[in-house]
Chains A and B, each alone.
Chain A
């Protein structure tokens, strides 16, 4: 192969290393909480997702769908040089767009769900557009404006859902069910994974991952986005409109996160927009997924699946009277260590040096 890219072995290795450390810390926590149950509990984390056979696998895909996309959103933005911490806001705005169209526009028939998803994408893009424009034309720090947009999005959605009668389920303090036509079709996955919540969303998510991969790696648009992301000044020197690129990349990132929200709230699994003053956790999990997946679209896909797998397994920890928060601790430790790629690199380097030293018989 002539164009073989240099593989990022160190990066992949550091992710594997981080996962290992994270799991070990999880084991220690389990041991501290309840030594007698720790080992079976640990085994459950690793294999729990398969407890109910194919149904469990289906659940993993279901959990993975939104976080793959929010991870992709963060990862994509990261590759293009901006830190999109606004995924919770974009996610909830996307979810709101989908729910609104899903409830209100019920005469659309078979394209109803697609229209609702489109609304999710547009709302998410809008929420990404604002920090993008602020960054490009007024040099406002993306992180700050994104955090602001998160809260604006959350409170705006709470307010609109609560005050707009057709959307609001007063009994349960959440949004109403979307119309049956707006629920994402199963696309045959219910046959493969009977009894699980999985739906066509995972297929859409994987297609979006592939699309983003192709855009980033194969097109001149991706070439420009990455060039500006790696080095804005060089992008300008090359005659690329770097301001426009910042805006576009934030818009696309927002659109992906919005789609994540749409897919979750249109899943038809009893998930509704609840009126709580909490930022969408799926958004923040996206940052973890992106870090673990090294911001690479395919890496993000596997990282999302992995974290979903742990979450699914962790659900069964309750059987051993452990709380499921232990999974969150493990994921947190994994992320913590995956951010230390450099340490891993030096550690590996030192190991190698030592080996070489021994072989060479170097006495100093």
Chain B
């Protein structure tokens, strides 16, 4: 039999929806098989079925031609199936080696015996060119390295079938290239890979075949070589998608946001570390300025200082010429600032509130929504209706839906809708499309451009190079808390931008912007 895994006619229903409707996926030995689909298309459910977390109502799973019943992750592991999760499952204050052997430690008379494990890990690391340091602490190594530790974990367990769940979301362009190479090495050694993603470039680069899911239904499996990106995105979304952003030349107007010598220090265990060091820049009406950088280089702290979520150690922030450095968040919110936060679950939404209540999170105290301290519920629900219809937010029970039960993409739409519909001069959008599918990304991009053309000043923080290149009118590259370059997206290539972001290239003129 050719196939190492066959999931045949899988149907999994949840109350009200069919998450997987008669889906068939067949993974050949030694191939990289991409699983492509929008958010909520049923990819995660399908993988949960494969890992035994859900039992399907119909359908069978075959491993190497033999029908199996998988009741839980341990069964899956025993069958040689391993997974690199989107959010790594690592113990941060353990070393690399300790993480790899965790759960299957070799012991002798009750004492740990690491020598054999170390030998095996080092051999595997050499064989697949992973270059890991077995004694480094997880908290000290880069995200890319952490991912390799996850891969080693699967190799150490002799898994033959590897599932990668959106593995490139957290990586730099160079790291992505390296990962692709590692994946090719793995398949050359006879491993089979299921690659979950919604990035078409990566599928084109590395996958052999691609299966597409849409709204729980199986659309088809194609040979990647014979299919164009446009065809695949059409299969995924069900209509033609515009992959590039249409926008006219920016017409910058007055300065809206002015940041001067902003520094943020982190005090930890007695010593201070500069997370952001004297950053200055301006954002004008009618332009999209993008802060590009690899995650963890200070962009989060910079934006939190601008919004007031975090204190700054020095510097000034002006909105519309007014110094708001010492003003609280409420003041900034009501004086022209809108903010699409980086972490929609932590900051953006009160997940246990319904859509309507989340829609007025920064406005409930205005006279439109309250009188004498009592909420005007009818107004709040009316307003939510406006958000829903203007932004095509889909939810089970309309405005009364608890946001926790909504899909990630629609949660993000709620935030984007709320922040755009609020009166604002400045829109801070931090990774506004993270984890969203092509359809939603296209939509949010066009909304941002529309806001720009309506005269908003937009500060975009993004880790996605395509987004940076497509959307911005100016690019500021942040590296280790410094702005190391100001670039024009029309004059720079993705590769060059990647080098700036990785800190291996700097602009001579420093951070004068």
A6 touches B381 (CB 8 A): no
Contact yes or no, B350 A3, CB < 8 A: no
Q: List 12 A-B contacts (CB under 8 A).
A: A4-B400, A218-B374, A219-B375, A220-B375, A231-B352, A234-B349, A237-B329, A237-B339, A237-B348, A237-B361, A241-B328, A241-B330
User: Which B residues are in CB contact (< 8 Å) with A230?
Assistant: 350-353
Contact present for A223 and B364 (CB under 8 Å): yes
Q: Is B357 an interface residue (CB 8 A)?
A: yes
By the criterion CB–CB under 8 Å, are B57 and A234 in contact? no
Contact with A along B328-348 (1 / 0, CB 8 A): 111111100001010000111
Chain A 216-245, CB within 8 Å of chain B: the 1/0 string? 001111010011001101111111110000
Complex Cα distance, B307 from A238, in Å, reads 11
- The contact of A239 among B328, B341, B352, B397, by CB within 8 Å, is B328
A332 nearest CB across to chain B (Å)? 29
| Cβ-neighbour of B353 out of A220, A227, A237, A360 (below 8 A) | A227
Q: Which residues of chain B come closer than 8 Å to A235, judged between CB atoms?
A: 350
Convert B144-161 into 0s and 1s, putting 1 for each residue whose CB lies closer than 8 angstroms to a CB of A: 000000000000000000
Task: Give A327 to B57 CA distance when docked, in angstroms.
Answer: 45
Contact A236 B364 (CB under 8 A): no
In the assembled complex, how far is the CB of residue A13 from the closest CB belonging to chain B, in whole angstroms? 16
> Do A234 and B361 contact each other (CB < 8 Å), given the known contacts A220-B373, A239-B330?
yes
B365 interface residue per 8 A CB criterion: yes
Shortest CB-to-CB span from A135 to chain B, Å, is 20
CB distance from A349 to the nearest CB of B (A): 9
Asked if A5 is at the interface (CB within 8 A of a chain B CB), the reply is: yes
State which residues 288-308 of B face A: CB under 8 Å: 307
Distance in angstroms between the alpha carbons of A25 and B99 in the assembled complex:
45
Report yes or no: A234 in contact with B350, Cβ–Cβ below 8 A: yes
Given known A4-B400, A233-B347, A234-B361, contact A219–B374 (CB-CB < 8 A): yes
Residue pair B329, A223 in contact (C-beta under 8 Å): no
A362 lies within 8 A of chain B by Cβ: yes
B446 at the interface (CB under 8 A from A): no
Who on chain A is nearest to B349 by CB?
A234
CB contact between A234 and one of B331, B347, B375, B378 (< 8 Å): that residue: B347
**A358 located at the interface, meaning its Cβ lies under 8 Å from any Cβ of chain B in the complex:** no
In the complex, what residue of chain A is closest to B341 when comparing beta carbons? A237
Q: How far is the CB of B374 from chain A (nearest CB, A)?
A: 5
Contact yes or no, A234 B346, CB < 8 A: yes
Contacts of A231 in B (CB 8 A): 346, 349-352
Whether A191 sits at the interface, judged by CB under 8 Å, is: no
Residues on B with beta carbons closer than 8 Å to the beta carbon of A6:
397, 400, 402
List residues of chain A with CB within 8 A of the CB of B347: 233-234, 236-237
Contact between B370 and A238, CB atoms less than 8 A apart: no
B377 within 8 A of A: yes
Q: Which residues of A contact B346 (CB under 8 A)?
A: 231, 233-234
Give the residues in chain B near A362, CB-CB below 8 Å. Answer: 57-58
| Alpha-carbon gap, A209 to B434, bound state (A) | 44
Q: Which residues of B contact A (CB under 8 A)?
A: 57-58, 69, 307, 309, 328-334, 339, 341, 346-353, 357, 361-362, 364-365, 370, 373-375, 377-378, 381, 397, 400, 402
Q: Do B364 and A220 touch (CB < 8 A)?
A: yes
- Chain B nearest Cβ from A223, distance in angstroms: 6
Residues of B within 8 A of A3 (CB): 377-378, 381, 400
A 342-364 contacts with B by CB, 8 A? 360, 362, 364
Looking at the assembled complex, report how far the CB atom of B329 sits from the nearest CB atom of chain A, in whole angstroms: 4
Interface contacts beyond A219-B373, A230-B353, A239-B362: sample of 4 additional A-B pairs, CB < 8 Å, sorted by A: A3-B381, A223-B375, A231-B351, A235-B350
Contacts of A233 in B (CB 8 A): 346-347
Contact B373 A221 (CB under 8 A): yes
Chain A residues contacting B361 (CB-CB under 8 Å) are 227, 234, 237-238
Top 9 A-B pairs ranked by shortest CB distance?
A239-B330, A237-B347, A239-B329, A230-B352, A238-B361, A231-B350, A233-B346, A234-B350, A230-B350
Decide if A220 touches B350 in the complex (CB within 8 Å): no
- Chain A residues, CB < 8 A from B348: 234, 237
Asked if A220 contacts B374 (CB within 8 A), the reply is: yes
Is A172's beta carbon under 8 Å from chain B?
no
B351 adjacent to A236 (CB under 8 Å) = no
Chain A residues with Cβ under 8 A from B58's Cβ? 362
Chain A interface: which size bin?
20 to 34
- Are A236 and B309 in contact (CB-based, < 8 A)? yes
Q: Which chain A residue lies CB-closest to B401?
A: A6
Instruction: Across the interface, name the chain A residue whose C-beta is closest to B363.
Output: A238
Please name the residue on chain B nearest to A239 by beta carbon.
B330
- In the bound complex, what is the Cα–Cα distance between A233 and B57 (angstroms)? 40
Known A219-B374, A220-B374; contact A237-B309, beta-carbon cutoff 8 A: yes
Closest chain-B Cβ to A235's Cβ sits at a distance in Å of 7
A231–B361 CA distance with the chains assembled, in angstroms: 12
Q: How far is the CA of A265 from the CA of B97 in the complex (A)?
A: 64
B445 to chain A, nearest CB (A): 23
User: From A237, which residue of chain B is reached at the shortest CB distance?
Assistant: B347
CA distance A68 to B97 in the complex (A): 55
Q: Is the CB of B57 within 8 A of A360?
A: yes
Residues in A whose Cβ lies below 8 Å from that of B331:
239
Contacts of B351 in A (CB 8 A): 230-231
* A62 CB, min distance to chain B CBs, angstroms: 34
Residues of A within 8 A of B57 (CB): 360, 362
Interface string of A295-314 (1 = CB under 8 A from B): 00000000000000000000
Q: Report which residue of A226, A233, A235, A241 has the largest number of chain B beta carbons within 10 angstroms of its beta carbon.
A: A233
**A10–B289 Cα gap in the complex (Å)?**
48
Contacts of B400 in A (CB 8 A): 3-6
- B381's partner among A2, A234, A237, A240 (CB-CB below 8 A) is A2
> Which residues of the other chain, A, contact B328 by a CB distance below 8 angstroms?
239, 241
| Chain A residues whose C-beta falls within 8 Å of the C-beta of B352 in the assembled complex | 230-231
B362 partner residues in chain A, CB cutoff 8 A: 238-239
A307 to chain B, nearest CB (A): 27
Complex alpha-carbon distance, A204 and B270, angstroms: 54
Q: Chain A's nearest CB lies how many Å from the CB of B58?
A: 8
Alpha-carbon separation in the docked complex, A3 to B380 (Å):
10
Closest B residue to A356 by beta carbon equals B57
Docked complex Cα distance between A3 and B361 (Å): 18
| Cβ contacts under 8 Å, A360 to chain B | 57
**Residues of chain B lying within 8 A (CB to CB) of residue A240:** 330
Residues of A within 8 A of B374 (CB): 218-220
Interface 0/1 of A237-255, CB less than 8 Å to B: 1111100000000000000
Cα–Cα, bound, A362→B329 (Å):
57
Taking a contact as CB atoms closer than 8 A, the residue among B334, B370, B397 that contacts A220 in the complex is B370
Q: Which residues of A contact B357 (CB under 8 A)?
A: 223, 227
In the complex, which residues of chain B have a beta carbon less than 8 angstroms from the beta carbon of A238? 329, 333, 361-362
Q: How far is the CA of A6 from the CA of B399 in the complex (A)?
A: 12
Residues in A neighbouring B307, C-beta threshold 8 A: 237
Mask of A15-32 contacts with B, CB within 8 angstroms, 1/0: 000000000000000000
- A221 and B69 CA atoms in complex are apart in Å by 53
For A217, the closest partner residue in chain B by CB is: B375
In the complex, which residues of chain B have a beta carbon less than 8 angstroms from the beta carbon of A218?
374-375
- In the complex the two chains form, what is the Cα distance from A226 to B375 in whole Å? 14
State A221–B365 Cα separation when bound (angstroms): 9
Q: Which residues of A contact B330 (CB under 8 A)?
A: 239-241
Residue from B307, B347, B397 whose CB has the most chain A CB atoms within 10 Å: B347
Cα–Cα, bound, A237→B350 (Å): 10
For A364, give the chain B residue with the smallest CB separation.
B69
Q: Which A1-59 residues have a C-beta within 8 angstroms of B?
A: 2-6
Question: Which chain A residue lies CB-closest to B370?
Answer: A220
Nearest A residue to B60, CB-CB:
A364
CA–CA, A241 to B329, complex, Å? 9
